[in-house]
Amino acid sequence: MKDNCILTAESVTEGHPDKLCDAIADSVLDACLKYDPAARVACEVMATAGKIIVAGEITAAELPDIPAIVCRTVRETGYGSDYEVEVITHDQSGDIAGAVAQDAQMGAGDQGIMYGYACRETAELLPLPVVLAHRLTLLLTNARKTGTILGLWPDGKAQVSVEYREGKPCRIAAVVVSCQHDEDKDLDGLRREIIQRIIVPGLRELPPDPKTEVFVNPSGRFVLGGFEADTGLTGRKLMADTYGGLAPHGGGALSGKDGSKVDRSGAYMARYIAKNIVAAGLAERCTVSLAYAIGRAEPVAVDIDAHQSGKYPEAVLEQAVRAVFDLTPAGMISALGLDRPIFARFCNYGHFTHQDAPWERTDRAAVLADICRDGTA
């Protein structure tokens, strides 16, 4: 990180069309895992005006009622029922299934590089812009559901730019909130409500100052929203799902994939490792990268980058990580409980902001610290 810079992160509400698609995909995954923990699921969703399409590869002991899942998820998100549902699914490719099953430990379901990141800026061990952006969108959704702000609809976004000096967050440079609203909503009144009820409480740790640029619905009216206004796709909010673009990303989407897909399990494990390293006091900031080859159980590469903030050499940290964590797909699924129907509840407002998620635990911090100190890796 540069000593003096402005870093920005974005978040979207659960009613954003892309996140609605993610929620549908993860709800389908959860329904498959509920009856078959070994289900293989790669579910993709597209939502556009008047139609929602669910497609992908699903091999499960019991195929769920996907149209019912779509309708329930859309309704719970806050939208109406004026759309058609089309489902196009088939079994997982035999070639992929064979590659995954050929190793006694379970081979990776794909190749790829996954990154995890943690830092000491916040209690969540995430960069401050990421935490603040997600807090704003969650507050926006809560204000809609509770009626704290009348006339809101489900679609919305937030963006927070934080100024850093000597590597530390010092002020809010800009904040942007865009929210869908009733046609007759007064825009000046909406702006006042958003500032008072969303921005002020959401940015309480680092309040805006007189020079902070504050934008509420900068384009003006935002009446038509959701998938009636903008086609939604699974996996199109990768930065909002992870680290806001403030840490590397391998490009693989998370939602709709079971744990054999290392795009998901590897990303969660990399975050779990990085968070435990930082929680143990072994580094102020840490990036973990895991690389896999399809059909192979062990990662082909493990890299730990402490960004010159490590208490021990990175080679020592890597040895400790390999000693403490089982990095095979089966090991990651077991350690993080990724064969359980838990995914839909964590797919909104960042996958790494939910402190009750298994990959957010810091239960391996002490053993990592002991191994590094004793040199027993």
Instruction: Look up residue 46 and give its two tokens.
Output: 């597209």
Does any domain span residue 362? yes
Among 203, 224, 245, residue at a domain's last position = 224
d(CA 278, CA 150): 42
Beta-strand runs (E) in 4-123: 5-12, 40-48, 51-59, 84-90, 112-119
265 and 179 together in one domain: no
Instruction: Look up residue 121 and give its two tokens.
Output: 């800026």
For residue 302, pLDDT over 70 is answered with yes
> What is the domain count for the chain?
2
116 and 158 together in one domain: no
Does any domain span residue 58? no
For residue 376, pLDDT over 70 is answered with no
Among 224, 245, 272, residue at a domain's last position = 224
User: How does pLDDT run across 147-167, given as a tens digit for each residue?
Assistant: 999 999 999 999 999 999 998
For the chain, give the percent of residues with pLDDT over 70: 95
220 and 309 together in one domain: no
Does any domain span residue 342? yes
Helix axes 66-77, 17-35, angle to 10 degrees: 130
For the chain, give the percent of residues with pLDDT over 90: 87
Does any domain span residue 323? yes
pLDDT value for 110: 77
Does any domain span residue 73? no
Direct distance between the N- and C-terminal alpha carbons of the chain, in angstroms, rounded to an integer: 30
Average predicted confidence (pLDDT) for the chain: 94
Does any domain span residue 76? no
217 and 267 together in one domain: no
132 and 210 together in one domain: yes
User: How does pLDDT run across 48-97, given as a tens digit for each residue?
Assistant: 999 999 999 999 999 999 999 999 999 999 999 889 999 999 976 555 54
214 and 347 together in one domain: no
User: How does pLDDT run across 244-297, given as a tens digit for each residue?
Assistant: 999 999 999 999 999 999 999 999 999 999 999 999 999 999 999 999 998 898
d(CA 30, CA 365): 29
| Pick from 269, 263, 258, 259: nearest CA to 238 | 263
User: How does pLDDT run across 199-258, given as a tens digit for each residue?
Assistant: 999 999 999 999 999 999 998 888 898 898 999 999 999 999 999 999 999 999 999 999
220 and 348 together in one domain: no
Model confidence at 141, in pLDDT bands (50, 70, 90)?
A: very high
Does any domain span residue 232? no
Higher local confidence (pLDDT), 22 or 295? 22
Residues forming a β-bridge with 10: 159
CATH number at residue 190: 3.30.300.10
Model confidence at 19, in pLDDT bands (50, 70, 90)?
A: very high
270 and 341 together in one domain: yes
d(CA 230, CA 18): 9
207 and 290 together in one domain: no
141 and 220 together in one domain: yes
pLDDT value for 53: 98
* Range of the structural domain that residue 314 is part of: 112-120+260-374
d(CA 119, CA 128): 9
Q: Which of 136-140, 227-231, 352-356 has the lowest mean pLDDT?
A: 227-231
40 close to 258: Cβ distance less than 8 angstroms:
yes
Does any domain span residue 343? yes
210 and 281 together in one domain: no
d(CA 18, CA 157): 12
pLDDT value for 25: 98
pLDDT value for 101: 61
185 and 322 together in one domain: no
Residue 22 CB-half CA count within 13 A: 26
Residue count of the chain, please give it.
Answer: 377
pLDDT value for 109: 66
180 close to 228: Cβ distance less than 8 angstroms:
no
